[in-house]
Amino acid sequence: MSRGRVVTLALSLAVALGPVAAAQAATAPKASYLDVVNDVMCVVCHEPLGVAQSPEAFQERDYIRQLIAQGKTRKEIENDLVIQYGPAVLSRPPAHGVNLLVYIIPPVVLVVGIVTLAIFLPRWRRRARDAGPPSAAKAKPLDASEASASTTSSGATRRRTATSSPAPRPPAATGPAGWSGASPVRARSERTRSPRAPSPPPCSRGRSR
């Protein structure tokens, strides 16, 4: 085959197939069916279109297939769906009007919650620490002389027996670094809650009235 004939054949093929290729490119799918279906709702049953089984859902899916076959992009398909079914067809509502609340409220609630916790959590912890954990006071072991003195009172014996089992907590574990456990508030708290200075039982207070 001569060189001239090859060139002629190639040119004629290009002329013949050019429009076909262009037409194919124009109608080639530009959107994935699954991508579109996953972002769209069945407007009657209010379920994701991918799983909806209502007659309307079948019609909606057919319509999407037609639009994909026409070579429309995902955005164009969504616009067409909104024209036909209204904004409710989109699984993510458009961010304007009352729908804005959907986008505003969750982050606002999250930020307010974090700020509230940031403000109040240290206060609550400080207050709880100032009040002193009851287990810390109870965990303080009695020395031998106190132990012998306390055996004279059966109530005190019971209390010691009940409170001597937990291991004593080191002071560093109950507060921030550098806290020695000797602050006036802490000392007062321990004095009032110490088993060595028990408060009178409620019944005795009642009788004194």
Q: For binding to another protein (CB under 8 A), which residues are involved?
A: 43-44, 55-56, 58-59, 63, 83-88, 101, 109, 112, 116, 119-120
* 42: its two tokens: 């069945």
Beta carbon nearer to another protein, 116 or 135? 116
Virtual CA dihedral for 69, 70, 73, 76, nearest 10 degrees?
-130
Q: Measured from the CB atom, is 78 or 160 closer to another protein?
A: 78
Q: Which lies closer to another protein via its Cβ, residue 15 or residue 83? A: 83
Distance in Å, CB of 52 to another protein, minimum:
12
Q: How far is the CB of 105 from another protein (least distance, A)?
A: 8
Q: Which lies closer to another protein via its Cβ, residue 87 or residue 166?
A: 87
> Residue 88 corresponds to which tokens in the numbers above?
């409710």
Name the residue nearer to another protein (CB basis): 58 or 179: 58
Q: Please report how close the Cβ of residue 176 comes to another protein at its closest, in angstroms.
A: 22
Closest contact distance (angstroms) between CB of 38 and another protein is 20
**CB-wise, 82 or 139, nearer to another protein?**
82
Is-contact 24 71, C-beta < 8 A?
no
Helix axes 184-193, 100-131, angle to 10 degrees: 70
Q: Please, what is the minimum distance in Å from the beta carbon of residue 62 to another protein?
A: 9
Q: How far is the CB of 83 from another protein (least distance, A)?
A: 7
